[in-house]
């Protein structure tokens, strides 16, 4: 497997070894020993699986501390996946990194705690899988406006399909956020 750094500290692109032949392919999407060799030794406690239609944008979501680190990938379709540094005092606070994830490229993205996360579906539909290090806690769930001009994410859609909750998120500067740099 290859681990590639992004412009945001700790946010990593993982390219698994894919063994393909005329029958199809095989890959390890997760192997604790291999991930640990790259400093990614989180313990995952929950796996999530979502299905979304073209143009759906989910995010930008995060949980207050202790938060959730995420390992995300696409099993069907394609998405544009985004992480935003929300750690107050960080040299990259408010900056974002975007990565195309698809069933075809089999890339994964690792998003540590202290980052907001979102994705937009660019195929007819997408099945999105994510492992998380903390249990979902609705009391800690927060979000940032997908179109916050201070962040300036260049999404591949201008009029996405949004949940009612995602339509109401505040800008980063107004969001409840007690993450600080370095994240603890």
Q: In this structure, are residues 99 and 109 in contact, taking their beta carbons and an 8 Å threshold?
A: yes
Looking at the DSSP bridge assignments, the partners of residue 119 are 58, 81
169 has catalytic annotation: no
State how beta strands 12-15 and 108-111 pair. antiparallel
130 has catalytic annotation: yes
Burial track 15-31 (b if 16+ CB lie within 10 A, e otherwise): ebeeeeeeeeeeeeebe
Q: In this structure, are residues 119 and 166 in contact, taking their beta carbons and an 8 Å threshold?
A: no
User: Which tokens hold the place of 106?
Assistant: 């089999």
The catalytically annotated residue of 62, 117, 130, 169 is 130
The catalytically annotated residue of 49, 61, 110, 169 is 61
Beta strands across the sheet bearing 57-63: 96-102, 78-85, 115-121, 57-63, 141-143
Active site residues: 61, 130
């Amino acid at each position: 497997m290859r681990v590639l750094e992004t412009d945001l500290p700790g946010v990593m692109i993982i390219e698994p070894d894919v063994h393909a032949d005329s029958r199809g392919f095989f890959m390890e999407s997760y192997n604790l020993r291999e991930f640990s060799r790259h400093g990614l030794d989180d313990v995952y406690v929950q796996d999530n699986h979502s299905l979304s239609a073209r143009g759906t944008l989910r995010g930008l979501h995060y949980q207050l501390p202790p938060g959730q680190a995420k390992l995300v990938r696409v099993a069907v379709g394609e998405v544009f996946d985004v992480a935003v540094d929300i750690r107050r005092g960080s040299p990259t606070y408010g900056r974002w990194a975007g990565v195309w994830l698809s069933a075809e490229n089999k890339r994964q993205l690792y998003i540590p705690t202290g980052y907001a996360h979102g994705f937009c579906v660019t195929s007819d539909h997408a099945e999105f899988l994510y492992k998380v290090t903390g249990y979902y806690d609705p009391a800690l769930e927060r979000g940032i406006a997908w179109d916050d001009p201070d962040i300036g994410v260049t999404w591949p859609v201008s009029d996405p399909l949004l949940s009612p909750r995602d339509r109401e998120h505040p800008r980063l500067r107004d969001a409840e956020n007690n993450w600080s740099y370095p994240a603890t």
